[in-house]
Structure 1
Amino acid sequence: MKKRCRLLVKTLQPVLLQDQIQRLIEFQRRDYCTDDVALFDLILEHAKAQQRFFNQSKDSATATTKQPTARPSKEVTTRISSGRSQPVTPRAPKAATPPTEGCLFCKGLHWLRECPTASVEQRRAALEKFKEEKQQQRVGPIRSKALPDTGVDCTILPSSVLRTLEEAVSPDVNVIRLSRPVTVILADGSTKTCSEEVKLDLQLTTAAGVVHVRQVPCLVLDSEDDELLLGRDTLSSLGIDVNDMLAQLAGSALLATEEDEFPVGYELFVEGATGGSMLGNAAVKDMMDAAVQNGFPAERQGEIEEILATRNEVW
Structure 2
Amino acid sequence: MHWLSECPTASDDQKAEIRPRMKRLRECIPSQEKTVLLNEELAVPYCADTGADRTAISKQHVTQLLRSDTSTKVTPLDTPTVHVAVGDHEVISTHFVRLRLRLNTAAGPVGLQEPVDCLIIECDEPEFILGRDEGEDEGEEDLQDDLPSISLSSTDKDLQDALERIISSALDQGFPSHLEQQLRAIVFKHDIWRLELGNDPPANVEALRIRLKDGARAVKSKPRPYPPAPLG
Higher helix fraction (1 or 2): 1
Higher RCO structure (Cα 8 Å, ≥6 apart): 2
- What TM-score does the superposition give when structure 1 sets the normalisation length? 0.32
Larger % of strand: which?
2
Which structure has the larger Rg over C-alpha atoms?
A: 1
